Amino acid sequence: MRKAITLIALALTIINCKAQENKAAQTLDEKTKTPMLVGTSSKTEIQQEPFSAWYSANHDSYKPNPATIEELKKHINDVSITIFMGTWCEDSQHQVPGFYQVLEQLKFDEKNVTLITVDRSKSTPDHLEKDKNITNVPTFIFYKNGKEMHRIVESPVESLEKDMLKIVTGQTYKHTYEN
């Protein structure tokens, strides 16, 4: 009987850990005293209160260029993307919902998107930012075969979809902070 109870307790602990694995911690931003997410997150989390107000408004107002979307569809399928953002950051609040609007227009498989929310020092408890050179948020990093292709940092040079197209087609591209 003890073995059965121990096994059940162990199984429940493992299940609970797995369930929390992909959920960011909601904490309080010391500067603004407002909630923020920190850690591996999901689009669903930033679509919920208290983040939904800025998410919905910026998502719905972003109108990607249809011709660029059609061209981008031809080149985006073998790409994975990691997004570093701060739920406290106005640039992230503006750009990330628009980025998801582009991904939706592309019918991009969001299983190939990793969303990482950072605190004001651009870090996470699990050090997910380590060796990623995250200087500004949002940062959208594009990978092909596990190798970084390029990144959009803080804001696009032209538009989210035009910058994405340049990156995934290997055109010359310099993000906002590159010389």
Structure confidence by residue, pLDDT tens digits, 115-173: 999 999 999 999 999 999 999 999 999 999 999 999 999 999 999 999 999 999 999 99
Domain count, the chain: 1
Burial, 150: exposed, middle or buried (Cβ in 10 Å; 0-12, 13-18, 19+)?
Answer: buried
User: What mean pLDDT value characterizes the chain?
Assistant: 90
Contacts of 75 (CB under 8 A, 6+ apart): 165, 168, 169
Position 133 in a domain: yes
Position 29 in a domain: yes
pTM of the prediction?
0.86
Residues 20 and 77: their CA atoms lie apart, in Å, by 29
Position 9 in a domain: no
Check if the beta carbon of residue 24 is closer than 8 Å to that of residue 39.
Answer: yes
Cα–Cα–Cα angle for 56, 74, 57, rounded to 5 degrees = 5
Position 8 in a domain: no
- 108 vs 33, 38, 80, 102, CA distance in Å? 35, 25, 10, 9
Range of the domain at 114: 23-168
Position 6 in a domain: no
